């Protein structure tokens, strides 16, 4: 490669890399806080997560068979099913979830 071709190649690569970096700052890559109403091996629980908006459904689907986040007491139950996940400030639609949400400390 001659110098002119090398400069063109470097310019194109830098623009491509810049485009990738800029494109990653879209709305879908923004992380938000979510709360999930979970059916676990020790009963229903609410757990808190921080996920990218575009990956919420995927992350929900990955939760069953994982352990719940630690509450500090060292006891972590296995998640059997995800009943509902909503943004942290939103209300659950399920009655049991709403009641447990009122009782849960943040």
Domain residue extents for the chain: 29-103
Q: Is 53 exposed, middle or buried (0-12, 13-18, 19+ CB in 10 A)?
A: middle
The order of strands in the sheet holding 43-52 is 43-52, 31-40, 79-87
Q: What is the mean pLDDT of each run of 10 residues along the chain (106 residues)?
A: 58 57 62 98 97 97 95 86 98 98 90
**pLDDT at residue 36, rounded to an integer:** 99
**pLDDT at residue 39, rounded to an integer:** 98
**pLDDT at residue 75, rounded to an integer:** 85
């Amino acid at each position: 490669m001659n110098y002119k071709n090398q400069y063109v190649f470097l310019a194109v690569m830098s623009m491509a890399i810049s485009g990738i970096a800029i494109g990653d700052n879209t709305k879908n890559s923004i992380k938000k806080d979510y709360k999930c109403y979970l059916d676990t091996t020790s009963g229903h629980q609410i757990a808190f997560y921080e996920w990218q908006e575009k990956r919420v459904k995927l992350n929900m689907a990955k939760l069953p068979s994982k352990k719940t986040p630690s509450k500090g007491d060292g006891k972590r139950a296995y998640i059997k099913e995800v009943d509902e996940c909503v943004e942290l400030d939103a209300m659950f639609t399920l009655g049991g979830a709403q009641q447990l949400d009122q009782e849960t400390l943040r």
